[in-house]
Amino acid sequence: MWAGRFTKQIDERVNDFNSSIKFDSRMYKSDIEGSIAHAAMLGEKGIIEKSESEKIIEGLRAILEDIENGRLQFDPAAEDIHMFIEAELTKRIGSAGKRLHTARSRNDQVALDIRLCLRDEIKEIRAMCIELVRTIAETAEKNLETVMPGYTHMQRAQPITFAHHIMAYAQMLLRDIGRLDDTAKRMNVLPLGSCALAGTTYDIDREMVSSLLGFDGVAENSLDGVSDRDFCIELASAISLIMMHLSRFSEEIILWCSWEFKFIELDDAYATGSSIMPQKKNPDVTELIRGKTGRVYGDLNTLLTMMKGIPLAYNKDMQEDKEAIFDAVDTVKLCLKTFIPMLETMTVIPENMRAAAAKGFINATDCADYLVKKGMPFRDAYKATGTLVHICIEKGVTLETLELSEYKKICDKFDEDVFEAISLDTCVMQRASRGGPAPKAVAEQIKLLKNKLSEIS
């Protein structure tokens, strides 16, 4: 490929070290798609003969077909996918193949290929996120009245419902989808035509290539065009957030399916056993997701660190972008693919959630609010209720089972109706503020979410 300048063959070790075909061959389709658009433009502009352009395009289409049919294997000794396809083309169609690289460099070619490739990957990840949001909404609809404790500091805090709890994750994922969309939009700019770094003397038509490939515009600075990897970092960051959300959800599922909670039971098909302890049913899927989140953060860190010290324009360091971003992409897809059916098939155990909500004085705020509604300032009501909780703990009872006479000793505003006011169901029903856990508030939240989903799907 570098014939002319060099007098020696490359050292085999350097060739292995330098080669990226092991991890960039997956971009073969983008590479061919980009080359077809480039060749069409070269022919249209008369930079190469029309007949040559057609020959190149035909040759590239045949290569694509052969790769997809398994008739053409990647050569592991090739330097990268770009070199491999160009060499194969020339092998097949002769000298016309040697004209494809006119007014182009591998620097703008690789920048183009990654964008084309990631554009498709984003569509897939996005579709999976939408599917997960739908699954959450469907599970929530079935659990509008499933009362459970809401926690702060992992201490029972106030009563909520399971629907309310999991819908929080649907909201996170909606933001994730928004971030994927932002990334895709900013990424959708054509770098081709930047050439090695300084554009070209040929009269190329970048707008034509841009519209052939479905870009929204062209990179306005050729140095930036070849050396920008912001889009990889943005995507890795969007994926890191998805992973963080999946990991938090996973952590909760791990807790919920423990014997200490038993709020849910995983389907047998989505749990694993132990090689020694016959009683075990382990939530391996969720633990792996939690574990793989660190790996994706690592990918993001790799990209950030790789970019921070490299001067303009292209430097070989940037070849390291692909393993990191493809690993992040593959990992999040793998996690979503498993997480969705796991969530779909898990069984909710409402009795256990309710039993946990009945303990831990999670209606204490409501007890204080009862006094506030009878005219007492909140701080005084807070103190009175705190005293009642203290008495309950000493007596080994709950606010629901404490005698009214005891209530009256602390404050004469208490009446028989306090028991209705602090019942779990009342506590949940009364929290009907927008975004709150009352079944009708959560139903409204689900309705809005579904409208949003149909807008964005």
Q: What is the dihedral of CA 338, 343, 349, 354, to 10 degrees?
A: 130
Q: Which two tokens stand for residue 206?
A: 């970048």
Q: Which two tokens stand for residue 223?
A: 């140095």
Under DSSP, is residue 151 helix (H, G, I), strand (E, B) or coil? strand
Report the residue number, 319 or 430, with the smaller CB distance to ligand ARG: 319
Judged by CB under 6 A, the chain residues 104 through 163 that form the site for ligand ARG are 106-107, 110
Which one of residues 171, 237, 319, 338 is an interface residue with ligand ARG (CB under 6 A)? 319
Catalytic residue from among 30, 38, 101, 153: 153
Under DSSP, is residue 144 helix (H, G, I), strand (E, B) or coil? coil
Question: Largest alpha-carbon pair distance within the chain?
Answer: 102
- Kindly state the smallest distance separating residue 214's Cβ from ligand ARG, in Å: 23
Stretch that binds ligand ARG, among 184-192, 284-292, 313-321, 394-402 (CB under 6 A): 313-321
Report the residue number, 1 or 397, with the smaller CB distance to ligand ARG: 1
- Kindly state the smallest distance separating residue 319's Cβ from ligand ARG, in Å: 4
Question: Does the footprint of ligand ARG cover residue 318 (CB under 6 A)?
Answer: yes
Report the residue number, 225 or 437, with the smaller CB distance to ligand ARG: 225
Q: DSSP readout, 383-398?
A: HHHHHHHHHHHHHT--
Report the residue number, 86 or 366, with the smaller CB distance to ligand ARG: 86
- Kindly state the smallest distance separating residue 321's Cβ from ligand ARG, in Å: 7
Contact string (CB under 6 A) for ligand ARG, positions 256-295, x = contact: ----------------------------------------
Angle, CA 275 vertex, CA 273 and CA 277 arms, to 5°? 75
Question: Does the footprint of ligand ARG cover residue 176 (CB under 6 A)?
Answer: no
Report the residue number, 89 or 318, with the smaller CB distance to ligand ARG: 318
- Kindly state the smallest distance separating residue 331's Cβ from ligand ARG, in Å: 20
- Kindly state the smallest distance separating residue 299's Cβ from ligand ARG, in Å: 16
Q: How many CB atoms lie within 10 A of CB 91?
A: 11
101 labelled catalytic: no
Q: How many residues bind ligand ARG (CB under 6 A)?
A: 10
Judged by CB under 6 A, the chain residues 14 through 53 that form the site for ligand ARG are 20, 24
Burial letters 346-362, b for 16+ CB under 10 A, else e: bebbeebbbebbbeebb
Taking phi over 0 as left and psi of -120 to 50 as alpha, with beta for the rest, 159 belongs to: beta
- Kindly state the smallest distance separating residue 19's Cβ from ligand ARG, in Å: 8
Which one of residues 52, 80, 234, 327 is an interface residue with ligand ARG (CB under 6 A)? 80
Single-letter amino acid code for the residue at 86: E
Strands, E, within 14-153: which ranges? 147-152
Judged by CB under 6 A, the chain residues 221 through 250 that form the site for ligand ARG are none
DSSP 310: P
165 labelled catalytic: no
User: What is the C-alpha separation between 232 and 319, in angstroms, rounded?
Assistant: 12
Intra-chain end-to-end CA distance of the chain, in Å? 46
For residue 411, the number of C-alpha atoms closer than 13 Å in the C-beta half-sphere is 23
Q: Which two tokens stand for residue 421?
A: 């006011």
Quick check: 342 and 136 in contact, CB under 8 A? no
Which one of residues 169, 314, 361, 370 is an interface residue with ligand ARG (CB under 6 A)? 314
Report the residue number, 169 or 314, with the smaller CB distance to ligand ARG: 314
Report the residue number, 264 or 318, with the smaller CB distance to ligand ARG: 318
Report the residue number, 105 or 363, with the smaller CB distance to ligand ARG: 105
Catalytic residue from among 51, 258, 274, 457: 274
Report the residue number, 231 or 297, with the smaller CB distance to ligand ARG: 231
Q: DSSP readout, 275-287?
A: SS-TT--B-HHHH
- Kindly state the smallest distance separating residue 190's Cβ from ligand ARG, in Å: 17
User: What is the C-alpha separation between 250 and 106, in angstroms, rounded?
Assistant: 42
User: What is the C-alpha separation between 208 and 256, in angstroms, rounded?
Assistant: 56
Stretch that binds ligand ARG, among 148-156, 197-205, 212-220, 315-323 (CB under 6 A): 315-323
Cα torsion 214, 217, 223, 229: sign: negative
- Kindly state the smallest distance separating residue 69's Cβ from ligand ARG, in Å: 25
Under DSSP, is residue 357 helix (H, G, I), strand (E, B) or coil? helix
- Kindly state the smallest distance separating residue 81's Cβ from ligand ARG, in Å: 8
Contact positions vs ligand ARG (CB under 6 A): 20, 24, 80, 106-107, 110, 314, 316, 318-319
Active-site residues: which are they?
Answer: 153, 274
